[in-house]
């Protein structure tokens, strides 16, 4: 046993190796600091090697801090183009990395030289009281991006430098990695989450789906657009574990060997933001055919179809949330558990107002609104007996609190109908990935609910009518100057000063108008979301709000970058804005 103070490795071997690791993977020159955000680190893959090394180092500390439990590392850039990549950490429960540790990830990634990385490392050990003599365990997985191979090497260098035991699971979807982490860490508990292997994941989903479907008839074919990503081979594998006679799945966009096709004019993000289907859909889909799209790492899913007039209809995350909440709510009632088990739905400000109204007024369920980013929704949903959460873009899941699981397990059915409801409910707790939104699991959930309700996509779409809406993006030089007010669920800007009053003035002119502006957490842009009773009103309102941001932007930029009044005027004219529309300058904050 070392005679060093608690926290240090024998002879400082890890500290030295961390310092040395920096020399092998020097930090690429970048124009702004890295930041561990909503989706971990995400950027052009050629800038990421050093970041990977530091993530490996951090994961080892996180594992040592948490009683040597296994930490997950996922290498993916989700729906971004193929040349990007990214990395995120998964905590032992299968949740995302605890928020209080994000600043360590940022600090490590921004250490400019070997001595600084070593200092940040020692700082973390001291502040978090980490005993390095404890074992560290990590598992790794990645999506299909070509840069993944190289980046794994940098990551492993960080793990080896710190004496971490690791297993590389190769290719997996992000939710599969979350599943594996939880399954590994609960192996020796009374209620293990599942077999800790990829096969265990398929077996769990397959057998739960078989149980849920024993009370329902097949409901026609589903076509799945896999975004030319990791979802394709994993869905093909999953199909082997599903009851053949209950669901027919056709797969499109499964060309993972052609890296540049990843997310290219296909996938959940493309469909949601462009409000149109991928090419195969446009060319082949008949009215009423049921389609869905995954994103690049298969943690998001969006459904859609063409109606009889060939109008494209999107069934997004809000629709999946309402479908799941209504079905699970009915099961809870039918099972006789409505007094014990309460349900709530968690959304963000991007949820369509019509969905919120439908949940509150028709389904009579509680709705909570949180900040954007799954981790915010997840934490709020986890407080409820059953918390259904989805972002409008199709990322979400349903969480069953241990007290709800216990109530479901212990309940004695009083009739065959109660037994059926209870059986189905129990199977749903296994079918639904409890760690994170999961396109494969969510797809089976939607398919099961539609089959039980004997609904086509048209009937699903009829439950409520979406308010016409638009999500736009304005690229800005410094998104950090756009800040929303605390407690406003990101619906009110408090900075730049005066902009919110301008937006309020615009919005009040439109029937059922709602519009808000917030800085993206993942891109150098601000997002503008608007909805109103009529589509032409939405267009008009969003255009005006964008104009007011562009003017604001010029004011902000004008204070710092324009050489003179003339250059600023030329810039404005280039944007086609009228001089008279300009606001008096407000400070650049
Ligand atoms: C409006 C929108 O869709 N925002 C997305 C996007 O976040 P932004 O912070 O808006 O860039 O990426 C996040 C990570 O994938 C996702 O959680 C979120 O829903
Ligand atoms: Mg994703």
Q: State the complex-level ipTM.
A: 0.98
Evaluate: CB of 37 within 6 angstroms of ligand 1: no
Q: Whose CA is nearest to atom 10 of ligand 1?
A: 520
**Ligand 1 centre from 370 Cα, in Å?**
13
Q: Count Cα neighbours of 98 within 13 Å in the Cβ-side half-sphere.
A: 12
The whole-number pLDDT of residue 558 equals 53
Q: 87, 371, 522: which to mutate for ligand 1, most atoms within 8 A of CB?
A: 522
Question: In ligand 1, which atom is closest to the CA atom of 300?
Answer: 15
Question: In ligand 1, which atom is closest to the CA atom of 38?
Answer: 14
Evaluate: CB of 110 within 6 angstroms of ligand 1: no
CA distance 582 to 253: 47
- Are 378 and 436 a contacting pair, CB within 8 Å? yes
Any residues with CB less than 8 A from the CB of 501 and at least 6 apart, and which? none
User: What residue has token string 């360590």?
Assistant: 104
Evaluate: CB of 375 within 6 angstroms of ligand 1: no
- Alpha carbon separation from 225 to 154, 268, 448, 512 (Å, rounded): 32, 8, 19, 34
Q: Based on C-alpha coordinates, what's the Rg of the chain?
A: 25
With CA atoms as reference, report the closest residue to 397 among 352, 445, 349: 445
Q: Whose CA is nearest to atom 12 of ligand 1?
A: 522
| 550 belongs to the catalytic site | no
Query: Which has the higher per-residue pLDDT, 6 or 378?
Result: 378
Evaluate: CB of 447 within 6 angstroms of ligand 1: no
**Ligand 1 centre from 13 Cα, in Å?**
40
Condensed to tens digits (0 to 9), the pLDDT of residues 20-68 reads 887 888 888 887 889 898 789 999 999 999 999 999 999 999 999 999 9
- Are 411 and 344 a contacting pair, CB within 8 Å? no
> 79-112: buried (b, 16+ CB within 10 Å) or exposed (e) per residue?
bbebebbbbbbbbbbbbbbeeebbebbbbbbbbe
491 three-class SS: coil
Query: Which has the higher per-residue pLDDT, 585 or 479?
Result: 479
pTM: 0.92
Evaluate: CB of 373 within 6 angstroms of ligand 1: yes
Condensed to tens digits (0 to 9), the pLDDT of residues 459-469 reads 999 999 999 99
Question: In ligand 1, which atom is closest to the CA atom of 523?
Answer: 11
The whole-number pLDDT of residue 197 equals 98
Q: DSSP letter for 76, please.
A: -
Q: DSSP letter for 498, please.
A: T
The one catalytic residue in 60, 63, 78, 293 is: 78
Going from the N-terminus, what domains does the chain have, and what CATH number goes with each? 10-171 (3.40.120.10), 201-315 (3.40.120.10), 317-461 (3.40.120.10), 469-581 (3.30.310.50)
Which residues are 138's β-sheet partners? Answer: 71, 166
Question: In ligand 1, which atom is closest to the CA atom of 39?
Answer: 14
- Are 79 and 269 a contacting pair, CB within 8 Å? yes
Query: Which has the higher per-residue pLDDT, 114 or 168?
Result: 168
402 three-class SS: helix
For the chain, how many helices (H) and strands (E)? 20, 19
Query: Which has the higher per-residue pLDDT, 30 or 548?
Result: 548
3-class DSSP string for 86-106: EEEEECCCCCECCHHHHHHHH
**Ligand 2 centre from 206 Cα, in Å?**
22
8 pLDDT band, cuts 50/70/90, is: low
Evaluate: CB of 39 within 6 angstroms of ligand 1: yes
With CA atoms as reference, report the closest residue to 345 among 529, 427, 327: 327
The whole-number pLDDT of residue 290 equals 98
Task: Report, as an integer, the average pLDDT of 489-518.
Answer: 95
Q: Which of 411-420, 470-479, 510-519 has the lowest mean pLDDT?
A: 470-479
Task: Report, as an integer, the average pLDDT of 536-557.
Answer: 89
Evaluate: CB of 350 within 6 angstroms of ligand 1: yes
Is residue 339 scored above 70 in pLDDT?
yes
Is residue 419 scored above 90 in pLDDT?
yes
Q: 41, 393, 397: which to mutate for ligand 1, most atoms within 8 A of CB?
A: 393
- Alpha carbon separation from 144 to 76, 227, 432, 436 (Å, rounded): 8, 11, 24, 20
572 pLDDT band, cuts 50/70/90, is: very low
CA distance 160 to 473: 42
510 pLDDT band, cuts 50/70/90, is: very high
CA distance 114 to 104: 16
- Asked if omega into 496 is within 30° of 0 (cis), the reply is yes
Question: In ligand 1, which atom is closest to the CA atom of 350?
Answer: 1
With CA atoms as reference, report the closest residue to 353 among 223, 237, 195, 469: 469
Average pLDDT of the chain? Answer: 91
Q: What are phi and psi of 35, to 5 degrees?
A: -140, 130
The whole-number pLDDT of residue 337 equals 97
- Are 68 and 29 a contacting pair, CB within 8 Å? no
Evaluate: CB of 391 within 6 angstroms of ligand 1: yes
The whole-number pLDDT of residue 574 equals 34
The whole-number pLDDT of residue 561 equals 37
Beta-strand runs (E) in 213-262: 221-225, 248-252
Which residues are 470's β-sheet partners? Answer: 530
Task: Report, as an integer, the average pLDDT of 72-100.
Answer: 96
Is residue 559 scored above 80 in pLDDT?
no
CA distance 496 to 578: 21
Condensed to tens digits (0 to 9), the pLDDT of residues 299-316 reads 999 999 999 999 999 999
Task: Report, as an integer, the average pLDDT of 403-426.
Answer: 95
Looking at the chain, the whole-number percentage of residues with pLDDT higher than 90 is 83
Residues around ligand 2, an ion, CB closer than 5 A? 78, 295, 297, 299
Q: Whose CA is nearest to atom 16 of ligand 1?
A: 373
The whole-number pLDDT of residue 554 equals 74
With CA atoms as reference, report the closest residue to 75 among 16, 18, 184, 158: 158
CA distance 380 to 397: 12
CA distance 325 to 329: 6
Condensed to tens digits (0 to 9), the pLDDT of residues 235-258 reads 999 999 999 999 999 999 999 999
List, in sequence order, the alpha helices (H) in 186-293.
198-213, 231-239, 267-274, 279-284
Binding site residues for substrate, as ranges? 391-393, 518-522, 527
The whole-number pLDDT of residue 556 equals 65
Task: Report, as an integer, the average pLDDT of 160-184.
Answer: 97
Is residue 2 scored above 80 in pLDDT?
no
Evaluate: CB of 393 within 6 angstroms of ligand 1: yes
Q: What are phi and psi of 318, to 5 degrees?
A: -65, -40
């Amino acid at each position: 046993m070392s005679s060093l103070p608690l926290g240090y490795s024998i002879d400082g071997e890890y500290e030295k190796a961390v310092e040395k690791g920096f020399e092998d993977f020097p930090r690429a020159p970048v124009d702004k600091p890295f930041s561990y955000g909503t989706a971990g680190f995400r950027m052009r893959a050629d800038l990421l090697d050093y970041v990977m090394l530091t993530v490996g180092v951090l994961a080892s500390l996180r594992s040592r801090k948490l009683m040597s439990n296994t930490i997950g590392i996922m290498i993916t850039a989700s729906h971004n183009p193929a040349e990007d990549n990214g990395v995120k950490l998964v905590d032992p429960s299968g949740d995302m990395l605890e928020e209080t540790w994000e600043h360590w990830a940022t600090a490590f990634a921004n250490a400019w030289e070997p001595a600084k990385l070593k200092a940040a490392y020692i700082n973390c050990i001291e502040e978090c009281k980490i005993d390095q003599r404890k074992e560290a365990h990590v598992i790794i997985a990645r999506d299909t991006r070509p840069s993944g191979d190289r980046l794994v090497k940098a990551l492993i260098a960080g793990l080896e430098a710190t004496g971490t035991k690791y297993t590389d699971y190769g290719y997996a979807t992000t939710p599969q990695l979350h599943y594996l982490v939880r399954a590994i860490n609960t192996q020796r508990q009374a209620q293990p989450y599942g077999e800790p292997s990829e096969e265990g994941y398929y077996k769990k989903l397959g057998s739960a789906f078989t149980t849920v479907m024993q009370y329902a008839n097949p409901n026609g074919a589903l076509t799945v657009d896999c975004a030319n990503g990791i979802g394709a081979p994993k869905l093909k594998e999953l199909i082997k574990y599903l009851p053949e006679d209950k669901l027919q799945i056709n797969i499109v966009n499964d060309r993972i060997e052609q890296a540049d096709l990843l997310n290219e004019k296909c996938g959940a993000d493309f469909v949601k933001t462009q409000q149109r289907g991928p090419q195969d859909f446009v060319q082949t889909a008949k009215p009423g055919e049921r389609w869905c799209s995954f994103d690049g790492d298969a943690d998001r899913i969006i459904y859609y179809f063409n109606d009889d007039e060939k109008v494209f209809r999107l069934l997004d995350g809000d629709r999946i949330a309402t479908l799941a909440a209504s079905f699970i709510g009915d099961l809870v009632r039918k099972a006789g558990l409505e007094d014990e088990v309460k349900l709530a739905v968690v959304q963000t400000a991007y949820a369509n107002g019509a969905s919120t109204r439908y949940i509150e007024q028709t389904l009579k369920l509680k709705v909570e609104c949180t900040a954007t980013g799954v981790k915010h929704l997840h934490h709020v949903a986890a407080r409820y007996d059953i918390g259904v959460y989805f972002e409008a873009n199709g990322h979400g899941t349903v969480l069953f609190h241990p007290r709800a699981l216990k109530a479901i397990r212990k309940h004695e059915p009083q009739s065959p109908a109660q037994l059926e409801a209870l059986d189905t409910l129990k199977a749903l707790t296994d079918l639904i990935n409890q760690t994170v939104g999961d396109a494969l699991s969510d797809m089976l959930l939607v398919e099961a609910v539609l089959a039980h309700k004997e609904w086509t996509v048209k009937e699903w779409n009829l439950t409520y009518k979406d308010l016409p809406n638009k999500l736009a993006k304005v690229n800005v030089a410094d998104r950090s100057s756009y800040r929303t007010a605390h407690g406003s669920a990101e619906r009110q800007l408090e900075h730049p000063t005066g902009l919110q009053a301008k937006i309020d003035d615009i919005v009040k002119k439109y029937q059922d108008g709602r519009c808000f502006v917030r800085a993206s957490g993942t891109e150098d842009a601000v997002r503008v979301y608007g909805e109103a009773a009529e589509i032409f009103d939405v267009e008009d309102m969003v255009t005006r709000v964008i104009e007011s941001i562009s003017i604001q932007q010029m004011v902000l930029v004008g204070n710092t970058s324009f050489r003179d009044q003339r250059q600023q005027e030329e810039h404005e004219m280039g944007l086609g804005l009228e001089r008279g529309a300009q606001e008096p300058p407000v400070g650049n904050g």
